[in-house]
Amino acid sequence: MQLVRFSSLFVACYFLAGCQLNQSNSPANPINTISDAESTLENVISDKSCDATYQCRVIGFGERACGGPSRFAIYSIKNSKQEDVEFLANEITQFEKTYNESTNAFSTCEHNPSPQTLCIANTCKLIERKQ
């Protein structure tokens, strides 16, 4: 009987050893909600100062029910790590995708083109594209 318990414990430990904890390379504390992720992203991209337009980036994030990003954000790679921004944007997208699937959400399926950004007066500015 003790051998069966030990064997069961060994097998359980063996399988659990292959599992990863929900650890990430997040630039902040663990993210538990979409609002946490959005707040963290906003903090990471808050300094939009730049010296040239090549430092300004646009990232689409979130998930519309029929696909594509639900919104866009601009940031400066002079002051924000691109990897951190992409990680947080991906977290938000996954949260929204899960939410959309669990609630059978629907949305308009119009195409939202990615906006452009320029460095104007040493600040990354959003330039809306005319449709």
The 10s digit of each residue's pLDDT in 7-44 is: 333 333 333 344 333 444 444 444 578 888 899 999 99
Q: State residue 35's pLDDT score.
A: 83
Q: Which residue has the higher pLDDT, 35 or 78?
A: 78
At 66 the pLDDT is 82
**How confident is the model at residue 9, as a pLDDT?**
34
pLDDT digits (tens, 9 = 90+) for 53-70: 999 999 999 988 888 898
Tokens of 74: 């601009």
- Tell me the backbone φ, ψ of residue 49, rounded to 5 degrees: -70, 150
* Spatial contact of 58 and 72, defined as CB atoms under 8 Å apart: yes
Contact between 53 and 119 (Cβ < 8 Å): yes
Q: Which amino acid is at 79?
A: N
Contact 48, 76 (CB under 8 A): yes
Q: Which helix (H) or strand (E) holds 2?
A: helix 2-17
